[in-house]
Amino acid sequence: MTEERETSERVEATKFYPDKGYLELERKFPEEKYLWNEDVHPTPVKHRTWGSWTFFAIWFGMAMEVESWALVSIGYSFGLNWFWSLVSVAAGNLIVLVPMIIQSHGGARYGIPETPLTRSRWGIYGNWIPSLLRGIIGAGWWGIDTWIISEAIGAMYLVLTHGTGLLLKLVSQNPADLPFLIATINPDLFWGVFLLTIAARLAILYVSPPRTGQKVLKVVSWTVPFVSFAGFFILFFNVMSMASWHWQPILDIPTTVSGSAFWYALIGLINANVAFWATMALSMPDYTRFAKTQFAQTAGQLPLPLLMTAIGAFGLVTTGASYVVFKTPIWDPIVLSALSISNPALAITALFLLLLGVVVVNIYADTVGPAYDFSNIYPKKLSWFAGVVIVVLVAGALQSWTYYFNAFSYVENWLLTYGALLGGVEGIIVFDYALLRRFKFELFDIFYSKGRFRYFKGVNPAAVIAFVISMILVFPPNSYLPTSISSLYPGQSWVFQDSWISAILLSGLIYTALMVFWVIPRYQPWLRGSPLKGYTSKETEEIFRGKREKN
C-alpha cells in the first residue's frame, strides 16, 4: 500500500460521530492474523448500548463481594485501628479511579478492548508484555475467587450436615487462617466442587461471546449484584441480633504501631487497596467499549470509592459483633455465615447469595479481560473463549489461592507485588493517552502491521525501557536476583511499600521523556505538537474535525 493510499484509507475507513465523540472502523483486517479477529474489532456504535446503571451495577456487584468485605479487616493485622483501616480503603479507591476513568475513555471512544488499545502505547507486538502480565494476574484472582466459591458451597454442606461445630472449633484454634478451614474438613468434596464450578462458569462464558455485545453478561450485571447484597444483609442482621446489636468493642482496638511503622503500614495498605482494582483499571475498556456515551461510563464508575468504603464499614461492624459473640473476630463472611445463622435454610440462602457476588467479580474482573489478553497472542487462531480456557489453566498452575490464607502474604506477596507490575504498565498507558496524545490516535493503525504503531519491529522501545527501569527502581534486588542484597539504594523498602504509586509515576515520567526526545522524532515523525499541547497527526485531526462523519 502506497503512503498516499494508506493515508486516504486511514481517513475513509474511520467514521466519526461528533455527537458522542465516538469513532467506528468500517474496514476489517482478516489478513492480519496476529492483530485482528471479530472479537477485538471495534464495536459498532449501534451496539454500544450500556448506560450508567449498567456500569454502576457492575461495580455494585464487584464491591459487594467477599474480598471487599474482608479487606478492611486486614488493617488490624498490620496494627491499624478501624479509622485508619477505612481511610486506607477510601484513599486507595479514590486513587485508582483516576487511571480507571482515563483508560475507560479509550475503550468507549474507540470501541475496542484493552489489548488492541494498548498497541498505541506499547506497539502492535509489544503490547503482548502488558497483556500477558494482566492475563497472569487476572488468572491469579480467578483462582482466589474459585477457592471462595468452593468455600461457600463447602459451608452449605456443613450447615446441611450439622458440621458447623467442628468449624467453630477450628476457628478458635486457627483464627488467622479462616479461608483455609472449610477445605480441611472434607477435602475430597471441596476439590470436586472446585472443578464443577469451573465447568459451570465456562458454560456461561461460552454462550456470551464479545461479538454479541455480551448480552448474557449484561443481564447478569443487572440482576445478581443487588440479589447478592441481600446475602450480606442477612448475615449482618443475624450476627447483630446474636450480639444484641453490641459491636463497639472493635472500636476499642487501638492502633498498635506509631512513628515510621505507622506510615509504613498505612502506605502499604493504601497501595494494597489500589492494587485490589488495578487489574480493572487496566481492563475497563473491555466493558466501556459497549458504553452508550462517555458520561454513561464515567457516571456509572464514580461511586466506586463510596461503595468500597461502605462495604468495608459494613464488614467492620459485623466483624465487631462476631467478636462479642464468638470471642474472636471472624472477618471471613463465608465462615461467619455458617456459624452465626441458626436457621439452615436461611444460612444456605445467605451463602448462595454471597457465592453469586463472587461469581460476578470472577467473570467481569478476572475472566473477560484476561481472556482478551491471551487471545491477543494469536487472534487469528485464538478466539476470546480460547483465551478463557487459558485463564483457567494458568490459574491452576499459579495456585494463587494460597496467598489468600494469610494477611501478610496477601498484602506483601500478592497485592503489593502485582500492584507494582501493573503500576508500571499503567503509568505508560495513562501518560501516553492523556498527556502525549490527548485522547486521540489513529484507530486504523491498531490493526495494521505496517502502520504507525509499528515503532521498532512492532515494539515501542520507550515503553519497554521505562517499564524495566521502573521495576528495577521499585523491587528490591533480592526479589528477582539470587542475592542477599535487600536494597538497591537507601529507602527502597519504602518505595516498594508505595508500590503502585511509585511505579506509575516512575514509568510514566521516564516514558514521557523517552517519547518526547527520542521515539516520536525517530519513529513517529508525522506527529506534531508538544508535551504541553499534546501530539496528533494531520489525518487524526481531519477525522476529529468531522471530515468523515456518519451518514
Q: pLDDT truncated to tens, each residue of the chain (551 aa)?
A: 566 677 788 899 999 999 999 999 999 999 998 899 888 899 999 999 999 988 998 888 778 888 888 788 788 878 888 899 999 999 999 999 999 999 999 999 999 999 899 999 999 999 989 988 988 998 999 999 999 999 999 999 999 999 999 999 999 998 878 889 999 998 999 999 999 989 988 887 887 665 554 455 555 555 556 677 889 999 999 999 998 888 888 788 889 999 999 999 999 999 999 999 998 899 899 899 999 999 999 999 999 999 999 998 988 888 888 888 898 888 899 999 999 999 999 999 999 999 987 887 787 778 877 887 788 777 777 887 888 999 999 999 999 999 888 788 889 899 999 999 999 999 999 999 999 999 999 999 999 999 999 999 999 999 999 999 999 999 999 888 888 888 899 999 999 999 999 999 999 999 999 999 999 999 999 999 999 999 999 999 999 987 544 44
Residue reference for cell 494469610: 406
Q: How many helices (H) and strands (E) does the chain have?
A: 27, 4
Written as one string, the DSSP assignment of 434-485 is IIISTT---SGGGG-TTSTT-TBTTB-HHHHHHHHHHHHHHS-GGGTSSS--
On whether residue 439 sits in a domain, the answer given is no
Q: Which three cell numbers stand for residue 381?
A: 487462531
Q: Which three cell numbers stand for residue 314?
A: 459494613
Q: Which has the closest alpha carbon to 184: 335, 77, 328, 329?
A: 335
On whether residue 414 sits in a domain, the answer given is no
Using CA atoms in the order 261, 262, 267, 270, what is the torsion angle rounded to 10 degrees? 140
On whether residue 355 sits in a domain, the answer given is yes
- Cβ atoms of residues 149 and 197 within 8 Å: yes
The answer to whether the predicted template modeling score (pTM) of the entire model surpasses 0.85 is yes
Say how many C-beta atoms besides its own lie within 10 A of residue 252's C-beta: 9
Written as one string, the DSSP assignment of 226-290 is HHHHHHHHHHHHHHHHHTTT--GGGGGPPP---THHHHHHHHHHHHHHHHHTHHHHHHTHHHHTT
Written as one string, the DSSP assignment of 202-237 is HHHHHT--GGGT-HHHHHHHHHHHHHHHHHHHHHHH
On whether residue 489 sits in a domain, the answer given is no
Structural domain harbouring 278? 56-407
Backbone angles phi, psi at 16, to 5 degrees: -105, 135
Which residues, including other chains, have CB under 8 Å from residue 307's CB and lie 6 or more apart?
59, 60, 63, 64
On whether residue 212 sits in a domain, the answer given is yes
- Cβ atoms of residues 514 and 503 within 8 Å: no
On whether residue 40 sits in a domain, the answer given is no
On whether residue 126 sits in a domain, the answer given is yes
On whether residue 547 sits in a domain, the answer given is no
Question: Tell me, what CATH number does 154's domain have?
Answer: 1.10.4160.10
Q: Which has the closest alpha carbon to 269: 141, 416, 479?
A: 416
**Number of structural domains in the chain:** 1
Q: Residue type for 21, please?
A: G
- Cβ atoms of residues 477 and 488 within 8 Å: yes
